[in-house]
Amino acid sequence: MSDITQKLEQTIRDIPDFPKPGIVFKDITPVLANPEISKAVSEAFLNYWKKAQIDVIVGIESRGFMYGLPLAQGLDVPFVPVRKVGKLPYTTIRHSYDLEYGSAEVEIHTDAIAPGQRVLIHDDLLATGGTAAAAAELIRKIGGEVVGYSFLVELAFLNGRAKLADKEVHALVTYS
């Protein structure tokens, strides 16, 4: 097991029954609160994706913004937000989907990605895969090519990878 994976396992906190009974919430705020581990997280993402010829990072609101922007800056590419409905000010397209604990709808600006650009989707956590798949749908609709998915945490027992087709999926820590 890599050093960063071990540190993340020791640092991410389990919160039982949040936000609903039966859900064990993976709380990453202790990671954000530790500058040394947080920097190591950003370096690990950069190291993994630096040779993948990514043109754009799409980060998913809200926890996908935290390491998505540093990754875009490290790769020297644009960062594009996918946001919950009603937050983006320019022309948008939207897509609804189911979550581990409810349902949601996300949007992207229609001019955010140029046709043919190679896009990496980043979020903090892969659960059922509904959110990442919805982001991919938005990106494809505006002409982008989704080349991979990047997560801090994967909850493998929810089989989210199955929704992400044949693209590369990377997570720094996986819970089975």
Residue matched to tokens 């990514």: 54
Instruction: Work out the angle between the directed axes of helices 35-49 and 3-11 (0-180°, nearest 10).
Output: 140
Candidate ranges 19-27, 68-76, 140-148, 162-170; the one touching ligand ADE (CB under 6 A): 19-27
Asked if 31 contacts 37 with a C-beta cutoff of 8 angstroms, the reply is yes
Q: Exposure pattern of 42-51 as b/e (b: 16+ CB <10 Å)?
A: bebbeeebee
Nearest distance, CB of residue 161 and ligand PRP, angstroms: 10
Nearest distance, CB of residue 51 and ligand PRP, angstroms: 26
Which member of 4, 9, 25, 37 binds ligand ADE (CB under 6 A)? Answer: 25
Angle at 50 between CA 167 and CA 133, to 5 degrees: 30
User: Residue 100 catalytic?
Assistant: yes
Element (H, E) at 10: helix 3-11
User: Residue 83 catalytic?
Assistant: no
Q: What is the CA radius of gyration of the chain?
A: 15
DSSP, res 17: T
- Is 100 a binding residue for ligand ADE by CB under 6 A? The answer is yes
Which member of 5, 9, 23, 69 binds ligand ADE (CB under 6 A)? Answer: 23
Question: Which residue among the candidates 13, 36, 43, 63 is catalytic per the annotation?
Answer: 63
Nearest distance, CB of residue 53 and ligand PRP, angstroms: 25
Cα 8 to Cα 101: distance, rounded to the nearest angstrom: 23
Q: Residues 112 to 141: which contact ligand PRP by CB under 6 A?
A: 123-131
**Which of the residues are catalytic?**
63, 100
Binding site for ligand ADE (CB under 6 A): 23-26, 100, 125, 127, 155
Binding site for ligand PRP (CB under 6 A): 60-63, 99-100, 104, 123-131, 160
